[in-house]
Structure 1
Amino acid sequence: MGKLGIERYYEDQLHGFTGFEEVEINSRGKVIRKLREQPSVAGKSIHLTIDLALQRYITDLLAGQKGAVVVLDPQDSSVLAMVSTPSYDNNLFVDGISGDDYRRLLNDPDRPLYSRATQGVYPPASTVKPFIAVAALTEGIVTPSTTIYDPGYWTLPGSTKRFRDWKKQVTALSI
């Protein structure tokens, strides 16, 4: 019986149905005849996209640190790995977590119950820049030989307000 996570979410589909056989027996326990039968039905299978080796590798890389890594398959966006650290032993919840264990997790200053991968809110920073560059190339706004001059600020068209870069140096960026 699925108690947590994927198994719990898909329990109805994974479980299937238990069958039975109703028989008539004599005083010695020997089957005389079968009265009714309901065959069991196997549950459905599900295929997870998590790459266990990759998941373990990332978990080892993040050991002792606070952080999150999510790896998606670029072909279909399926999740190959999703790690948030620090973490906790999920098995604590399987048979019901003790009050002491739960308080320990809740009061841990490293917040192991907080999934940095799914609950964290972070500014896009440099991770969004390749996507913007690809979009600009795709739309023909720039070409592979375009050089962008960066004076250290950007002015919204039709405005005099300057949005300053976090660095004060002037740079040129080649696409």
Structure 2
Amino acid sequence: MANTDIITTAREIHTTEQQIADARTARNRTDIARLNRQHRKLTATLQQMTIAALNNGADAGTLRAQVWAALDGKATTPADLEQVIVDTIHQLAAEPDAWVSLTRLRAALPTTHNRDAVDTALRNLDRKRAVDIAPEDNMRMMTEADHAAALRHGGQDRHLIATC
């Protein structure tokens, strides 16, 4: 399946999410139920299309970047960006709860988010105990890129992240 189908479906999901939010504001239970069913179907379709594309050799990072670009290049809420970060950590980690360098994480994230937004999301995830962010113990092994990617948090530079 073409990446354009995936992008179109992602846009439909985004539109449906906005409609669900509007229906919740209006307290229209009938529309909320209908839109939730539609959202589940679209999400399942997107998952199937994405798996098929990946099985046919599509690059996961490119696919993710194309979808985010189609959605105006930004996560719609800080919680969306936090989810993108957690999902990216899971993709990069060699095993569950494994440490990932912030250098690798930042390189894998869509480039549409500025550094401040990503740093704020990382701090929020740390405060929520969704991730652990730690300094690198072996400073001699660090590159210039590692120092540049560090997150200043709690009075020290932190270079590694893992999900909790």
> What is the TM-score of this pair, normalised by structure 1?
0.25
Q: Flag the structure with more relative contact order, 1 or 2, with Cα contacts below 8 A and sequence separation at least 6.
A: 2
Where is the helix percentage greater, Structure 1 or Structure 2? 2
> What is the TM-score of this pair, normalised by structure 2?
0.27
**Structure with bigger gyration radius:** 1
